[in-house]
Structure 1
Amino acid sequence: MTDERPPSELFQERLKVARDLRKWSQGDLANRAGMPPSSIAHFESGSRKPSFETLRRLANALEVTTDFLLGRVDDPSLAEAGDPLFRDIGKLTGHDRELAKDFLKMLAERTQAKNKEKEG
């Protein structure tokens, strides 16, 4: 079921969701996108709307697609094409691709184990 709200309303929510997924503060995102932290606060509150250039910079910084930020796709995992890591893996073939998958799996498991240590 698609959300029928206008993209401008969805954007403010999606921007915060994408930022939270990265575990970044508004200041972190602002630094990565090359803009003042107050701009991120305005976008998330809905008091300002981004220009096309700003939308592109935010999507690049968050490594998601503009489609996710605008509500055209609902699942951030569907925005994998916007992640440089996924683009680079797509260029690998055969054995190198398997090595990359194994390495990423190992890193993910290591991160998961560290998170469990922190919780317990």
Structure 2
Amino acid sequence: MASFQRRFKELRHERGWTLDDLAELLGTTKSTLSRYENGLREPKIEFAEKSAGVFGVSTDYLLGKSDSRKGEDDAQLKMLFRKAGELSDEEREEVLSHFENTLNLYLKHKRR
């Protein structure tokens, strides 16, 4: 299986992102990302989780532990739920209501 550095670089290239683009998305520097891509630095779990969320893959895929891009735990959903945890109870209820309505509408139209 692939290494983190290979997967990280591969995913960035697939999306057509420069190191500057990705650095902005991840809140880090171009030089830090270059070190990851060249195997000069190993990611901490928090960085791997954030990166997986940005790329839309599982952390296991990004870390080279799996060849399946989407694990049982979808990284993007985990990140969204983590962000939702920062909201007040009232805000969270509103967001969940919108999400449920949007999902139901999507599924209704998809099944036609």
Structure-2-length-normalised TM-score: 0.64
Match of 2:36 in 1: 43
- How far apart in 2 are the matches of 1:83 and 1:62? 8
- Unaligned segments of structure 1, at least 5 residues: 4-8, 103-120
* Distance in 2, Cα, partners of 1:62 & 1:20: 11
Greater fraction of residues in helix? 1
- In structure 2, what is the Cα distance between the partners aligned to 1:15 and 1:27? 14
Q: In the aligned structure 1, how far is the partner of 2:76 from the partner of 2:49?
A: 13
Which amino acid counterpart does residue 44 of structure 1 have in structure 2?
A: E
- The 5-angstrom pairing of residues 64-103 of structure 1 reads 64-76=57-69, 78-79=70-71, 81-84=74-77, 92-93=103-104, 96-99=106-109, 101=110
Query: Percent sequence identity over matched residues?
Result: 30
Q: Distance in 1 between matches of 2:14 and 2:108?
A: 27
Q: Which residue of 1 aligns with 2:53?
A: 60
C-alpha distance in structure 2 between counterparts of 1:75 and 1:57, whole Å = 18
Structure 2 unmatched ranges of 5 or more: 81-98
User: Aligned AA for 2:7?
Assistant: R
Task: Tell me how large the CA RMSD over aligned residues is.
Answer: 2.8
Instruction: Please list the CA deviations of residues 85-106 of structure 1 after superposition, one character each: whole Å capped at 9, or x if unmatched.
Output: xx969x834x63142x48xxxx
* TM-score for both structures, normalised by structure 1: 0.60
Moved over 6 A (4+): none
